[in-house]
Amino acid sequence: MAGYSDGTFKPDRPLSRAELASALARAVQREEIGSAPAFTDVEAGHWASSAIAKAYRMRLMAGEPGGAFEPNRAVTFRELTIVFGRLLGSETEALSIMNGRSASIHDEQVPQDAHGVHDEHIAVSRAEFVVWMNAMLRRRPLTDAPQQWIDVSADREEYEDIQEASISHLFEPTPDGSETWGESARRKDD
């Protein structure tokens, strides 16, 4: 997942639908079916237009009623669960993975309101997304890489997941589901 040209990652910022499409288009290799519609609110020159079309063709994301995509709208927990369910073929499996990773990072389950009730309308942060995306793709947190972002300190809970998701690197899967990695290049302009 890309950071910003000013050297920041903005981990607590809500993930936009355009950013989600962009991350999916880069990270997921999947059959693309048909063509994407011309969304009424995504011009050809939009920074994520090709990624939005690819995420649509991979059947991971859809448009909104009336032909819009709403690229700047924050992704909700429920929406991300649906996307990950499409990726894995099971929303139940996606939710289980999301709960497991949330508990291992924050000692809590997926977002809840003040009364402890599951709140599916909560916006997903960029940091939460990369933790869950790494888990969906069976990518392990990246350790021992130089700090990439001026606003993500090494003592942040999601630090290694942010590193994994934002540093472009070659890797080979290992039998235990983790990876060994080689050369890397900073992803700030992707």
Q: pLDDT-based confidence at 4, cuts 50/70/90?
A: very high
Residue 35 structure tokens: 């063509």
What is d(CA 81, CA 9) in angstroms, rounded to the nearest whole number?
Answer: 23
How much is the mean pLDDT over the chain?
83
Residue 187 has a pLDDT of 38
The per-residue pLDDT for range 64-114, each reduced to its tens digit, is: 999 999 999 999 988 999 999 999 998 888 888 887 765 444 444 455 555
Residue 103 structure tokens: 């508990």
- Where does residue 119 fall: left (phi above 0), alpha (psi -120 to 50 degrees), or beta otherwise? beta
Residue 120 has a pLDDT of 72
Question: Which helix (H) or strand (E) is 128 found in, with range?
Answer: helix 126-136
Q: pLDDT-based confidence at 179, cuts 50/70/90?
A: low
Residue 111 has a pLDDT of 53
Residue 37 structure tokens: 């519609």
24 DSSP β-pair partners: none
Quick check: 10 pLDDT over 50?
A: yes
DSSP 126-164: HHHHHHHHHHHTTPPPP-SPPP--TT--TTSTTHHHHHH
Say if pTM beats, i.e. exceeds, 0.85.
no
DSSP 44-85: TTSTTHHHHHHHHHTTS----TTS---TTSBPBHHHHHHHHH
